[in-house]
Amino acid sequence: MRIVLDRPRCEGHGLCEEAAPDLMHLDEDGELVLDREEISDADAALANAAVRVCPVAALRLA
Amino acid sequence: MTDTAPPISDLDLFDDTVLVDPHPSYAALRDLGGVVHLPANDVHVLTRYDVIRNALGDWESFSSAGAIGFNPMVNAALTGTSLASDPPVHTQLRAALTANLSPRALRGLKDSIDAKADALVEELVNKGSFEAIDGLARALPLAVVADLIGFTGHVRANMLRWGQAAMQVIGPMNQRTAESFPIAGELYDWCSTVAAEDLAPGSVGRGIFEAEARGDIPPNTAGHIIHQYLGAGVDTTIASIGNILALFAAHPEQLALVRENPSLVPAAFNEVLRYWAPVHAWGRRATRDVEVDGVLVPQGAQVAILFGAGNRDPRHYEDPDAFLVGRNPVDHLSFGYGPHGCAGQGLARLEAHAVIEALARRVGRLVVGPEVRVPSNITRSIEELPVLKMAPA
């Protein structure tokens, strides 16, 4: 399972980072960085939570 | 594809009593179905959490083009805005709108907004009793948005009535809408003629004109963007901040929780938004026959999304009629969701978090009198909230 970012859609609200700080973070410019794109079964719940809270639907699992 | 028609209700969504206290009607509609046809308004309302969230994410089935308002005049006036368009056109318009409004663009504002909110709350605690909608709920967003866009002079004085009218006219063509169109027209006319030099140097508003001059955003869009900042960002934020005060006054134990644990501030704002959605109804149009919750929404149907109904859906939230900051409902529907998710939510969070932090830090006891509500087509807010006693922590 991979986490996929629709970069133009991301506005840097940062709710995904709050939900899954081990998987992604906003850098100093407020741009989202995916620290782990390949998601293990152990992290699937966190990844789902991050995808779910994105207010502009910029994240999805593939 | 089903051919089952949705259940029908004789409710008038924009009746005065419904607008002032919509939650009993929301519950009745939600019990009828995820989609209910209201012949009185010629709309199909979406009532349940999953139905609303799915529709908000599915712009191909539920279009915003010419469909977000409930009368043809407002839909014509909003043509060409990101609010009322679908991808791919929407994508470019949205980018122009959010370039100066996204959280990353606003990060530099946090300290000044925190300081404004703290100074206001300090002054009000010193007063001890006051009217809270003018004194705080309106004062903060008006100051923040005026400084952000760089409004000066008569425009500053008109922001409140222009912002209220811009939301009111999204309703059906009732008396409220008819009376508000001339006022919304003043805002529209001003935004059509405003130029860079009308806005304070160094403001975000001036920056939008500079972006237009550089060619970073399409020609003649700067005025439209300023229109949306004012039209969408004032009345709704005022509603939210008034709701924060009223709900903390009604639930002092919830304010105490935030005072003891300030990390609950974002959760508290999420719960305020979930509990009392600032926006009553918002439109979409079905682009095709869509099956929703086992019934048919016919192609061309005007759809009304009831954010507040979804926010109280017991299928999604346990004990939904309780106000509990600890539940942190981060997926509430009050900002919408998906491509049209509230573009100003970052700014709204900055303002609301600043208010909640200041209240938690400075206020011990908060006693209010009865709130006054006035029916309004789209924004549900408190008109007057007498604070009888605000004692220091």
Q: Inspect the interface and report whether the beta carbons of A12 and B335 lie closer than 8 Å.
A: no
ipTM value: 0.93
Closest by CA position to B283, among listed B306, B256, B299 = B306
**What's the mean per-residue pLDDT of chain B?**
95
**What pLDDT score does B376 carry?**
98
Structurally, how many domains does chain A consist of? 1
Question: Which of B342-356 are b and which e, b meaning 16 or more Cβ less than 10 Å from the residue's Cβ?
Answer: bbbbbbbbbbbbbbb
Round to whole Å and give the CA distance between B85 and B101: 19
What domain range is A28 assigned to? Answer: 3-61
Q: What is the pLDDT of residues B43-68, one digit of tens each?
A: 999 999 999 999 999 999 999 999 99
How would you classify residue B281: left for phi > 0, otherwise alpha for psi between -120 and 50, otherwise beta? beta
A13: closest chain B residue by CA: B103
Cα separation, B247 vs B237, in Å, equals: 15
The tens-digit pLDDT sequence of chain A (62 residues) is 999 999 989 999 999 999 999 999 999 888 999 999 899 999 999 999 999 999 999 999 99
Rounded to a whole number of angstroms, the distance from the CA of B329 to the nearest CA of chain A is 10
Candidates A15, A30, A57; nearest CB to B107:
A30
Does residue B298 surpass a pLDDT of 90?
A: yes
Min Cα distance A41 → chain B (Å) is 23
**Predicted local distance difference test score (pLDDT) of residue B98:** 87
Q: Helix crossing, B345-362 with B139-149: angle to 10°?
A: 140
Chain B residues with CB-CB distance to A52 below 8 A: 331
Instruction: Please give the DSSP secondary-structure letter assigned to residue B301.
Output: -
Average pLDDT of span B150-171: 92
For residues B195 and B209, give the distance between their C-alpha atoms in angstroms, rounded to a whole number: 8
Flag whether residue A28 sits within 8 Å of chain B, measured between CB atoms.
no
Sign of CA dihedral B46, B51, B56, B59: negative
In this prediction, residue B189 carries a pLDDT of: 93
| Alpha-helix runs per DSSP H in chain A | 15-19, 44-53
Interfacial residues of B (vs A; Cβ cutoff 8 Å): 57, 91, 95, 98, 102-105, 107, 266, 330-331, 335-339, 341-343, 345-346
pLDDT score at B74: 97
Give yes or no for residue B2 having a pLDDT over 90.
no
Asked whether residue B296 carries a pLDDT value surpassing 90, the answer given is: yes
**pLDDT score of B217:** 82
Q: What is the CATH number of domain B16-392?
A: 1.10.630.10
Question: How far does the CA of residue A52 sit from the closest CA of chain B (Å)?
Answer: 7
